[in-house]
Chains A and B, each alone.
Chain A
Amino acid sequence: MKLALEVNGEPRTVEVSPWKRLLDVLRDDLRLTGTKEGCGEGECGACTVELDGEAVNSCLVAAGQCDGRRVTTVEGLARGDVLHAVQRQLVACGGAQCGICTPGIAVCAAHVVDRGLIAGCDDAAARARVRELLAGNICRCTGYQLIVDAVIAAAREVAP
């Protein structure tokens, strides 16, 4: 099929099988390799992208489901050289180690922060909410503590 979609704000068209995974369309056809494959079965979240404003596992989405839709990948979070608050705080707080889960976590955390999903929560409630919202993204390096710190700091930065 001819697949037309908007990726990180730019219209793109590719000729692919409708059964091809969105993950492979991004990585192989569009050469956007920031989105990672960790398990291929929707468990690890390394392939998380935003699809029309929803955070999804791109390994579980078929190309045929994406025609005419908007996709945001990790490559679309920064504005030029200006990092998204979540990216900046992941670096500042030490929330990235080996980094293979980080693109998925950055996309999901940016979704949480940009949509104000923890706005108005006190600190303890915000931390608990971040843990629920990011539970689909597995990190094996950090123990999650410094990632939660980074997401909270980013949310405070965006909406103090």
Chain B
Amino acid sequence: MPRVDGVAKVTGRARYLDDLDAPGAWHGATVRSQVAHGVLEAIEIDPSLGASLGAGLDGSQVCVVTAADIPGRNVIALIEDDQPALVPIGGRVMHHDEPIALVAAPTRQLAFAAAKAIRPRIAARPAVFDVDASLAGAVALYGPPSPPSPAGPDGAGGDANVFKQFLLRKGHASDAELDAVFAAAAHVIEGRYQTSPQEQMYIEPQAMMASWQDGRCHIVGSMQCPFYVHKAMKALLGCDADGVVIAQSVTGGGFGGKEEYPSMLAAHAALLARKAGRAVKMVYDRDEDIAATTKRHPCRTRHRLAVDARGELAAIDIDVVMDGGAYLTLSPVVLSRGVLHAAGPYRCPVVRVRGRVVATNHPPHGAFRGFGAPQTTFAYERQIQKLARLRGEDPLALRKRLALRSGDTTATGQLLGASVGTDEVFAAIEGAIDGAAGAPPVRHGVNRHGAPVRRGRGVCFYFHGAGFTGSGEQRLAGRATVAATARGFEVRSSSAEIGQGSITIFTQLAAAALGVDPAEVAVIDPTTSRVPDSGPTVASRTAMVVGAVVERAARAVRTRLEAWAAEHGVTGTLAAIATAHAAATGGELAETVTYEPPPGIAWDDATYTGAAYPVYGWAACLVDVEIDLDTCELAILRCVQAVDVGKAINPAIVRGQIEGGTLQALGWAVLENVVYKDGKVANANMTNCIVPTFADAPELETILVEVPYPFGPGGAKGVGEIPMDGPAAAVANAVEDALGCAFDELPISPEAIAATRPGWSAS
């Protein structure tokens, strides 16, 4: 079935926030800090600049908001209340481009110009941008002050400024026991891996509009999680749940970037609208969006692998350190997912994973597709590659030999049951490389410019937990409603369509469960006053978790309608029965269903053991690369992804998810990067902060593997994030194959390749 919103999008009729008619609305702009760390002493308004704009800053043409204008608590409520909506006078500035004050004016141009007339005076303090220096307590940023400690290698000496840490142990009770396994190993492989920050680069910049009517605040904008914004607004405005309504406009991409940050824009727009007494729209410029909003956490992973004489994994020891940036935001959850995926989808009796996420004066890092797993996946898939080289074993065969299957246990001791597609994804990749057409690329050659090239092949195998971590889904108890109304059937949930296809998937699921034509089902917008809280649109959970709830609610509606029809002697299609029911009762027939976890799912937060996720997706990736030996440019010749998705409810949409995630991963591997200079994003525009174009992208080969998940709708399990996790390692493995030296840091840019030239193998 084609996307429900397809025609509106290809004709330009879909209305994004900046397309909405807003007569009389003013435009908002943000005054930001120009230092990375300090104390805000004053906010100075330059009267001459204000006058030269033809707009004295007297409130009639320009409205200025500071922290003093906040009616409730000055926090962006999420996990912890450490991040203010606006830095107050006397408060601490924690990062470059932090919001200090707001301006609204009748036009966007005037608002941005007026913002320049407002100058925060900040007493700068020493800032810290390096995680090891932060761990060593160079500057106190978070938590109880701890005495500076001499930093050992990789921060071994300190534990200051830690937002959150986890320690996961399997198969051993003490460090001494773990050390003994390493001491007895036939081989130990040690590596240190560094991954870079990554910009989500949704093509619609962050955008939000607020207005007040009858004392109630109405927010509409580009977002993934209407109830996250709702929670944040209740705290900021000091109102109850009915005091604020959050609505989503058509959203031009998210990828995690519109998970937590929209609460900041909503706060700012609401404060300006309240003071200005009119609707206020805020649409970020691209440079502002890149400079100020969240990115993927940069991450360093140290990984030790102990192998016995038969080539079996004996022990894995991992230390993960992520740079959380200036505020906690979602960092503990990102770190958790990184830690839980760090040991990889391989059998190993003894595992220790230590993870820490550390405060620095970078702008906060936050949610991005994969959510910590791509960082640790890169590390373990490089380690497994090194093991294959050490043993002279075929890299794909070695992975297949060590891979987890049903009946095995993961690093958290989770016994794997149904829907483990290991053998099926390996078979798919083997199929793609069978025969002459799939042979490895010839090592030496010449490209179309006549330059000498080297070619290589890399593979990787990986998994991704679908849905919230641990007991998250039970705690959240997401709900969705299906209703038979006079207008037809409605699906009501807080899941946001952000391009991933959720409204199409929900339409299909509800229509199938009701036994009606999809045209008779409407998925309504996730406005907080009209839908139950189904949870956020994150964690590869929408189709699998909320979709299953929608399916159950639709079945319940069908059962009740059929019972009503039998009782009242009504015959005909279910749509006809629904119409008759609405006419007879004057109301609707609705069922709201709450998520129920599959039986036997147990997780222990204290020991970090048990079922970390209800189910996993499984995937393998193959990449062939070609490196121009003169320019060190890298071309991806072939990229095959085989992904076990449980069941593809809509194959075109599932393919689109996998291919989009794959290209984001390939981009992260070879050309994307966010460059910080003294805590400020130095490449805050699309000219320098590049993402792959049509011309950069290879032809993507996608193989959908379906090993059904018994508790997902129709057997489906999460697919949104998994394609992001693996390809970067496959690229690094391919470049290593071509050049004969290791690539353990991202991005693998031409400059990075050139720097390894002395280490290239002779043949």
Q: Does A35 contact B (CB under 8 A)?
A: yes
CB distance from B519 to the nearest CB of A (A): 15
Query: Which B residues touch A146, using CB under 8 A?
Result: 652, 655-656, 659
What 6 pairs across the A-B complex have the smallest Cβ distances? Answer: A34-B12, A98-B499, A100-B252, A99-B9, A143-B659, A94-B652
Query: Which A residues touch B205, using CB under 8 A?
Result: 38
Contact flags A92-119 to B (C-beta < 8 A → 1, else 0): 1110111111110010000000000000
Complex-state Cα separation, A135 to B501, whole angstroms: 25
Q: Does B196 contact A (CB under 8 A)?
A: no
Q: Does B398 contact A (CB under 8 A)?
A: no
Which residues of chain A have a CB within 8 Å of any CB of chain B?
Answer: 27, 32-41, 43-44, 46, 73-75, 77-78, 83, 86-87, 90-94, 96-103, 106, 127, 130-132, 134-148
Q: When the two chains form their complex, are residues A74 and B11 in contact, meaning their CB atoms are under 8 A apart? A: yes
Q: When the two chains form their complex, are residues A43 and B5 in contact, meaning their CB atoms are under 8 A apart? A: no
Q: Does B515 contact A (CB under 8 A)?
A: no
Q: Does B662 contact A (CB under 8 A)?
A: yes
Q: When the two chains form their complex, are residues A33 and B204 in contact, meaning their CB atoms are under 8 A apart? A: no
Q: When the two chains form their complex, are residues A91 and B3 in contact, meaning their CB atoms are under 8 A apart? A: yes
Q: When the two chains form their complex, are residues A143 and B18 in contact, meaning their CB atoms are under 8 A apart? A: no
Query: Which B residues touch A38, using CB under 8 A?
Result: 203-205, 286, 686
Q: When the two chains form their complex, are residues B12 and A138 in contact, meaning their CB atoms are under 8 A apart? A: no
Q: Does B566 contact A (CB under 8 A)?
A: no
Q: Which residue of B lies closest to A151 (CB)?
A: B694
Complex-state Cα separation, A36 to B389, whole angstroms: 49
Q: When the two chains form their complex, are residues B652 and A144 in contact, meaning their CB atoms are under 8 A apart? A: no
Contact flags B2-13 to A (C-beta < 8 A → 1, else 0): 110111111111
**Residues in B712-736 with C-beta less than 8 Å from chain A:** none
Q: When the two chains form their complex, are residues B691 and A98 in contact, meaning their CB atoms are under 8 A apart? A: no
7 more A-B residue pairs beyond the given contacts A43-B686, A99-B10, with a C-beta to C-beta distance below 8 A: A33-B19, A40-B285, A96-B9, A97-B500, A101-B203, A137-B693, A146-B655
Query: Which B residues touch A34, using CB under 8 A?
Result: 11-13
User: Known interface pairs A41-B687, A74-B12, A141-B499. Does A97 touch B656 (Cβ–Cβ under 8 Å)?
Assistant: yes
Query: Which A residues touch B12, using CB under 8 A?
Result: 32-35, 73-75, 103, 106
User: Known interface pairs A90-B10, A138-B203, A146-B655. Does A98 touch B252 (Cβ–Cβ under 8 Å)?
Assistant: yes
Stretch in contact with the other chain, from B144-152, B233-241, B456-464, B695-703: B695-703
CB distance from A33 to the nearest CB of B (A): 4
Complex-state Cα separation, A35 to B660, whole angstroms: 23
Query: Which B residues touch A83, using CB under 8 A?
Result: 7, 10-11
Q: Of B10, B498, B662, B699, which one neighbours A127 at CB under 8 angstroms?
A: B699
Complex-state Cα separation, A127 to B698, whole angstroms: 11
Q: When the two chains form their complex, are residues A91 and B10 in contact, meaning their CB atoms are under 8 A apart? A: yes
Query: Which A residues touch B253, using CB under 8 A?
Result: 97-98, 100, 140-141
Q: When the two chains form their complex, are residues B285 and A134 in contact, meaning their CB atoms are under 8 A apart? A: no
Q: When the two chains form their complex, are residues B286 and A39 in contact, meaning their CB atoms are under 8 A apart? A: yes
Q: When the two chains form their complex, are residues A135 and B498 in contact, meaning their CB atoms are under 8 A apart? A: no
Q: Of A35, A78, A97, which one neighbours B11 at CB under 8 angstroms?
A: A78
Complex-state Cα separation, A86 to B7, whole angstroms: 11
Complex-state Cα separation, A94 to B255, whole angstroms: 18
CB distance from A48 to the nearest CB of B (A): 12
Complex-state Cα separation, A82 to B691, whole angstroms: 34
Q: Which residue of A lies closest to B499 (CB)?
A: A98
CB distance from B35 to the nearest CB of A (A): 26
**Residues in B11-56 with C-beta less than 8 Å from chain A:** 11-16, 18-19
CB distance from B701 to the nearest CB of A (A): 9
Q: When the two chains form their complex, are residues B694 and A98 in contact, meaning their CB atoms are under 8 A apart? A: no
Query: Which A residues touch B656, using CB under 8 A?
Result: 94, 97, 141-143, 146
Query: Which A residues touch B203, using CB under 8 A?
Result: 36, 38, 44, 46, 98, 100-101, 138-140
CB distance from B349 to the nearest CB of A (A): 38
Query: Which B residues touch A32, using CB under 8 A?
Result: 12
Provide 22 A-B residue pairs closer than 8 Å at the C-beta atoms, listed in order of the A residue.
A33-B18, A34-B13, A38-B286, A39-B686, A41-B685, A41-B687, A44-B686, A87-B10, A94-B652, A97-B499, A97-B656, A97-B660, A99-B5, A99-B10, A99-B252, A99-B499, A100-B204, A132-B694, A138-B686, A140-B660, A141-B656, A143-B659
Q: Of A41, A97, A127, A130, which one neighbours B286 at CB under 8 angstroms?
A: A41
Q: Which residue of A lies closest to B656 (CB)?
A: A94
Query: Which B residues touch A140, using CB under 8 A?
Result: 200-203, 253, 255, 660, 664, 691
Query: Which A residues touch B251, using CB under 8 A?
Result: 98
Q: Does B663 contact A (CB under 8 A)?
A: yes
Q: Of B10, B652, B659, B694, which one neighbours A134 at CB under 8 angstroms?
A: B694
Q: When the two chains form their complex, are residues B2 and A143 in contact, meaning their CB atoms are under 8 A apart? A: no
Q: Of B285, B664, B695, B699, which one neighbours A145 at CB under 8 angstroms?
A: B699
Query: Which B residues touch A135, using CB under 8 A?
Result: 693-695
Q: Which residue of B lies closest to A135 (CB)?
A: B695
Query: Which B residues touch A93, using CB under 8 A?
Result: 652
Query: Which B residues touch A136, using CB under 8 A?
Result: 693
Q: Which residue of B lies closest to A108 (CB)?
A: B694
Q: Which residue of A lies closest to B199 (CB)?
A: A140
Complex-state Cα separation, A131 to B5, whole angstroms: 25
Q: Which residue of B lies closest to A136 (CB)?
A: B693
Query: Which B residues touch A132, using CB under 8 A?
Result: 694-695
Q: When the two chains form their complex, are residues A144 and B6 in contact, meaning their CB atoms are under 8 A apart? A: no
**Residues in B195-216 with C-beta less than 8 Å from chain A:** 200-205
**Residues in B222-266 with C-beta less than 8 Å from chain A:** 250-255
Q: When the two chains form their complex, are residues A143 and B662 in contact, meaning their CB atoms are under 8 A apart? A: yes
**Residues in B661-675 with C-beta less than 8 Å from chain A:** 661-664
Complex-state Cα separation, A141 to B497, whole angstroms: 13
Q: When the two chains form their complex, are residues B286 and A40 in contact, meaning their CB atoms are under 8 A apart? A: yes
Q: Does B653 contact A (CB under 8 A)?
A: yes
Query: Which B residues touch A94, using CB under 8 A?
Result: 2-3, 652-653, 655-656
Query: Which A residues touch B285, using CB under 8 A?
Result: 40
Q: When the two chains form their complex, are residues A143 and B663 in contact, meaning their CB atoms are under 8 A apart? A: yes
Interface centre among A35, A78, A138, A143 (most CB of B within 10 A): A143
Complex-state Cα separation, A103 to B661, whole angstroms: 22
Q: When the two chains form their complex, are residues A96 and B3 in contact, meaning their CB atoms are under 8 A apart? A: yes
Q: When the two chains form their complex, are residues B6 and A91 in contact, meaning their CB atoms are under 8 A apart? A: yes
Complex-state Cα separation, A144 to B667, whole angstroms: 13
CB distance from A59 to the nearest CB of B (A): 11
User: Known interface pairs A38-B286, A98-B203. Does A143 touch B697 (Cβ–Cβ under 8 Å)?
Assistant: yes
Complex-state Cα separation, A99 to B10, whole angstroms: 7
Query: Which B residues touch A75, using CB under 8 A?
Result: 11-12
Query: Which B residues touch A43, using CB under 8 A?
Result: 685-687
CB distance from B78 to the nearest CB of A (A): 24
CB distance from B672 to the nearest CB of A (A): 11
CB distance from A62 to the nearest CB of B (A): 15
CB distance from A1 to the nearest CB of B (A): 18
